[in-house]
Chain A
Amino acid sequence: ETGVTQSPTHLIKTRGQQVTLRCSSQSGHNTVSWYQQALGQGPQFIFQYYREEENGRGNFPPRFSGLQFPNYSSELNVNALLLGDSALYLCASSLDGLAGSNTGELFFGEGSRLTVL
């Protein structure tokens, strides 16, 4: 059984650029969530995907968007990068039998560290 894997592990971008982060969910998991963790803070929920549809969104602007693929892997896209987008981006997978519920345990990847200059 493979765990959650994310790529790339580190990347540097400049303001205004676009970035795509990737996540492979744990084997058998059909739900992927993305979180942003600024330095010294707890992670903040960005959005969740269940069966290729967005299934909940936190307080993030539309320039944060995502996709989930039929194999349950996922992408997080951020357009028009700002300095404040510098953070660790965490992907988590879980197995949810019902859309809109979150009774299961979340398993996180190692994260993608984004630096915006």
Chain B
Amino acid sequence: KQEVTQIPAALSVPEGENLVLNCSFTDSAIYNLQWFRQDPGKGLTSLLLIQSSQREQTSGRLNASLDKSSGRSTLYIAASQPGDSATYLCAVGGAQKLVFGQGTRLTINP
């Protein structure tokens, strides 16, 4: 059974800092890994999708890496802004479904 863990559960940093969010998973037989952003009471916004054959993906200030052998992914956010405050969810794609971590609640302080 796939299990996904995100550490830390919450993170608060001053504006402008670079930061890393961590995601680990127990079964390396995955199709893909997807990072999402969720604002309070809202749905999920897809940030980055990494296929199992890829090592990383970049979009703007975001960079996500994938290391299947160690069961880890990281989301790197450069030059953080108050608008980046949200919960970030990592999800591992298997047959038919995504398995989610519990998320990291990120607060960027002006």
Contacts and interface: CB of A to CB of B under 8 A. Distances in A.
Contact of B93 (A43, A90, A103, A110): A103
B101 A42 contact: yes
Interface residues of B, number: 26
B99 A45 contact: yes
A41 B31 contact: no
Interface stretch (B14-22, B36-44, B60-68, B77-85): B36-44
A4 B103 CA distance: 22
B interface, over-half SS? strand
Contacts of B25: none
Given A42-B103, A108-B36, A101 B43 contact: no
Given A41-B102, A100-B96, 19 more contacts: A6-B43, A33-B96, A33-B97, A35-B98, A42-B89, A42-B102, A42-B103, A43-B89, A45-B98, A48-B97, A56-B95, A58-B97, A88-B41, A90-B43, A101-B31, A102-B93, A102-B97, A108-B43, A110-B43
